[in-house]
Amino acid sequence: MLRNDHKVKLRIKDDVENIPDISIMILGTPGCGKSSLVSKLIDDTFSGDYVTDDIPPRNAVIEAYQRQIPLIINQTYTHQTYQAQGNDLDYPLEEWIPIYELVIVAFDLSNELSITTAINSVSDFIENAKNGRGDFKKLLLVGNKVDIDLAPPDSKLGQTQAWLKDILQKMREEVGAAPYNMHVNYIETSAKTGENVNLLFETAATMVLANRGMLISNREEVIKEKEKDADVVYARKRKTANTALFKSAEGKDKDKGKEKDKSHGKADVSYQRRRDPKG
């Protein structure tokens, strides 16, 4: 992820006068918090009520890089459509990526089916992208409801949360090492507390501006390096029975990952799919 941090100072290129609307899509299982994230961003409100709604696209303006960046935010739980057509819960990202400049795949961190549905579909997408299809730079993963404590590690949800963490790490390794230029971006959010909600949409805007070639850095070569990086933004540590689970990859867990690498040689690229956690 390209971030406007101390390492890379980004700005919009001087010759960019107008920034055309950025049209993005948020996909995710019903109830994962898509509408809540959008309301938090635009209206700064959060309602605990759950209304499955067919929301028309909403306009937002992100202030970044001393500019006003217009976003059009679409949302859908498209996999239900696929399910109704006799398919399983996955939604093929190949169908959505070409239509929008960025696709956010959201899931509910406190819901097994939501996590597995999203991650399975992203895993499929990575596999396909390896064969030259798709564009991973247009994909952003969002684990929402980070305000809810982690499940006990021995519970089904706890195991799914651990699986999520492992698979994100695998994706980072895979994408980082890949000859093609892909990103794995992951942000944890809470529409309830507002944590990382602005960051999510700023990141979305940044990714699109970068993909459009509208950004420049004080050191272009740093951007080039950054583009190869996979980056992960974890939320601050949660109160939990298992405090190790969502620790930053900068911490001890990173070393653990290295150990794994050594013992298994090259990172294993076939993602372990999980199906029907209740079964």
Ligand X SMILES: Nc1nc2c(ncn2[C@@H]2O[C@H](COP(=O)(O)OP(=O)(O)OP(=O)(O)O)[C@@H](O)[C@H]2O)c(=O)[nH]1
The binding site for Mg ion (CB under 5 A) comprises 35, 53
Residue 114 makes contact with ligand X by CB under 6 A: no
Binding partner at 199 among Mg ion, ligand X, none, C-beta below 5 to 8 Å by kind: none
Binding partner at 243 among ligand X, Mg ion, none, C-beta below 5 to 8 Å by kind: none
Residue 263 makes contact with ligand X by CB under 6 A: no
Q: How many other CB atoms are found less than 10 A from the CB of residue 100? A: 18
Measured from the CB atom, is 48 or 86 closer to ligand X?
Answer: 48
Binding partner at 25 among ligand X, Mg ion, none, C-beta below 5 to 8 Å by kind: none
In the chain, the amino acid numbered 278 is K
Closest CA to 122 of 79, 157, 80, 180: 79
- Piece of 91-99, 142-150, 207-215, 271-279 that binds ligand X (CB under 6 A): 142-150
Positive/negative CA dihedral, 95, 125, 177, 254: positive
CB 153 within 8 A of CB 134: no
Smallest separation, CB 104 to ligand X (Å):
11
Distance CA 252, CA 27 (A): 32
Measured from the CB atom, is 49 or 259 closer to ligand X?
Answer: 49
Smallest separation, CB 45 to ligand X (Å):
11
- The residue ranges of DSSP E strands in the chain, in sequence order, are 10-12, 22-28, 58-64, 67-76, 102-108, 139-144, 185-188, 215-217, 231-233
- The alpha-carbon radius of gyration of the chain (Å, integer) is 18
- Piece of 8-16, 156-164, 176-184, 187-195 that binds ligand X (CB under 6 A): 187-195
β-sheet bridge partners, residue 67? 64
**The dihedral formed by the CA atoms of 155, 158, 163 and 168, expressed in degrees to the nearest 10:** 170
Measured from the CB atom, is 32 or 182 closer to Mg ion?
Answer: 32
Among 52, 66, 85, 270, binds ligand X (CB under 6 A): 52
Strands of 185-188's sheet in order across: 58-64, 67-76, 22-28, 102-108, 139-144, 185-188, 231-233
Which single residue is written with the structure tokens 């859908």?
A: 76
- 68-97 footprint of ligand X as x/- string (CB under 6 A): ---------x--------------------
Residue 192 makes contact with ligand X by CB under 6 A: yes
Smallest separation, CB 214 to ligand X (Å):
30
Residue 191 makes contact with ligand X by CB under 6 A: yes
3-state secondary structure of 153: coil
Residue 194 makes contact with ligand X by CB under 6 A: no
Residues that bind ligand X (CB under 6 A): 28, 30-36, 47-53, 77, 144-145, 147-148, 190-192
